[in-house]
Amino acid sequence: MIVETIEEWIELYNSNNLDVDLSGWQIQDTIGTVKTYTIPQNTKILAGVPAVSGSFLVFKRPETKIMLNNDEDGLNLLTPDKKIVDSVNFTSAPLNQSYNKTSKSWAWSTTLTPGAKNILAVAQNLSNAKNSVKSSNINPAAADISQILNTNQNNSTKSPWFLFFTVLATTLILAIVVLFIKFKFLKNNVGT
């Protein structure tokens, strides 16, 4: 989903390994003038494992008539019998960024990829964006590895000394092992 006045879209991704018929399912915003969009009959989303272009469905604002508020809003995904199977809420949406579901949470991205795999580029000015998410236990959308890598990189850069001493200890241990093997080899050759 992108939160911009003219080019908003809502994207669904099928992370299952079978096609899904979304006929009669609904997308509904949650704040302000609540709009509900019913997905047309014979709308299918292809299996997403591995991700292929047909495993993404993009619904643009002119089609859905759903206008998301940048200060606060949310979306529900409902089955034809009106059960909410997934939902998300956000506040303080940054302009020209998309809100992407990962395996663990939601993340803003400056790289917009409607109809394709999300690229979670580091979003700018996110310190002001406070987001709350509620999500059901439905199979999550495919995680973008960059989100995991960014988290791991942030943790390792907080303590460069830890990294330095880890590398130093590893080097010393390997040097001792090499010397042990070398002396063992020389001792065996001298004895013969």
Nearest to 110 by CA among 128, 145, 100, 10: 100
Low-confidence ranges of the chain (pLDDT < 70): 1-6, 122-159, 189-192
By residue count, the chain amounts to: 192
Closest CA to 103 of 134, 133, 147, 151: 147
Task: Give the pLDDT of residue 147.
Answer: 35
Structure tokens at 75: 């979306």
pLDDT at 192: 57
pLDDT value, residue 153: 41
